[in-house]
Structure 1
Amino acid sequence: MNQTLMWRRILDEASFEQATVRQDADGTEIAGTALLAEAGAPLRIDYRLTCDAAWITRRVEATQSFQGRARTLALDHDGQGQWRRGGTPAPELEGCLDVDLGISPATNALPINRLRLAVGETQKIRAAWVLFPELQVKAAGQSYERLDDKCYSYRGLDSDFQAEVTVDAAGFPTDYGTIWRRIATGPATRVQQATAEALLSSAASPVLGEAAHAFDWVIGGWRAEVTDFAEGRAVASDIGEWWFSWALDGRAIQDVWIAPARGRRRDIRIADRYSTTLRFYDAEAGLWRIIWINPVNGAVNRLAGTRQGDRILLEGEEYGRPARWSFNDIRPDSFTWRGEIQQPDGRWRLDAEFRLRRVMG
Structure 2
Amino acid sequence: MAMEATTVTRELIWRRVMDELGFEHARVRRGQEGTELSGVVLVAEQGAPLRAEYSVVCDDAWRTRRVSVTQSWRGERRTLALEHDGEGHWRKDGQVAEELEGCTDVDLGLSPSTNALPINRLRLQEGATAAIRAAWVRFPALEVVPARQGYARVGPARYRYESLESGFNALLDVDAEGLPIEYAGVWRRLAEGPAAPASVSQTFVDALMSAGPSKELGDAAATFGWLVGGWAGTIQDHDADGSVRQSEGEWWFHWVLEGRALQDVFIVPSRNAPAPSGPGANRRYGTTVRTFDRTTGKWQITWVSPTGGAINRLAGGREGDRLVLLGEHHGKPIRWSFSDIGPDRFTWRGEVQDEAGQWGLQSRFDMRRIA
Report the TM-score, using the length of structure 2 for normalisation.
Answer: 0.84
Paired residue for 2:302? 291
Partner of 2:226, secondary structure, is helix
CA distance in 1, matches of 2:268, 2:208: 23
CA contact (8 A) 2:86 2:104 kept: no
Q: How many residues align?
A: 355
Q: Deviations over 1:169-211 (max 9, x none)?
A: 4332233223223345433533322332332233333332322
Distance in 2 between residues matched to 1:255 and 1:206, nearest whole Å? 20
What is the CA distance between 1:305 and its match in structure 2?
1.2
Mapped to 2, the partners of 1:121 and 1:195 lie a distance apart of: 44
Residue 138 of structure 2 is aligned to residue 132 of structure 1: yes
2:276 is equivalent to residue 267 of structure 1: yes
One-letter identity of the residue aligned with 1:194: T
- For residue 6 of structure 1, report the CA deviation from its aligned partner: 3.4
Aligned match for 1:78, one of 77, 83, 86: 86
> Does 2:335 correspond to 1:328?
no
Q: Report how far residue 294 of structure 1 moved.
A: 1.8
| Secondary structure, aligned partner of 2:130 | strand
Alignment-mate amino acid for residue 277 of structure 1? T
**2:179 is equivalent to residue 172 of structure 1:** yes
Gaps of 5+ in 2: 1-7
After superposition, the Cα gap between the structure-2 partners of 1:54 and 1:146, relative to the gap in structure 1 and judged at 3 Å, is farther
Which stretches in structure 1 are left out of the alignment for 5+ residues?
none
* Matched residue type, 2:304: I
Residue 221 of structure 2: aligned partner: 212
Query: Contact conserved, 1:8 with 1:15, CA < 8 A, in 2?
Result: yes
Distance 1:137 1:268 in 2: 53
Paired position in structure 2 for 1:143 = 151
Q: Deviations over 1:72-129 (max 9, x none)?
A: 34241334xx3233453747653x54332222111112233234455x4332231414
| Aligned residue in 2 for 1:222 | 231
1:109 has 2:116 as partner: yes
2:3 aligned partner: none
Question: Identity over aligned residues, as a percent?
Answer: 44
Moved more, 319-328 or 193-202: 193-202
Which amino acid is the alignment partner of residue 172 of structure 1? L
Q: Contact (CA 8 Å) 1:245, 1:255: kept in 2 or not?
A: yes
Moved more, 296-305 or 55-64: 55-64
Work out which of the residue numbers 298, 307, 321 in structure 1 matches 2:318.
Answer: 307
**SS of residue in 2 equivalent to 1:30:** strand
Q: Confirm or deny that 1:99 pairs with 2:97.
A: no
2:4 aligns to what? Answer: none
- Go from structure 1 to structure 2 and tell me whether the alpha carbon gap of 1:305 and 1:53 turns closer, same or farther (over 3 Å shift): same
State the distance in 1 between where 2:307 and 2:13 align: 39
* CA apart distance, 1:69: 6.6
Shift of 1:314: 1.0
Aligned to 1:56: 63
Kept in 1, the 8 Å contact 2:231–2:368? The answer is yes
Structure 1 position 285, deviation (Å):
0.8
- Flag as ranges the 4+ runs of structure 1 deviating above 6 A: none
Q: Confirm or deny: 8 A CA contact 2:83 2:212 kept in the other structure.
A: no
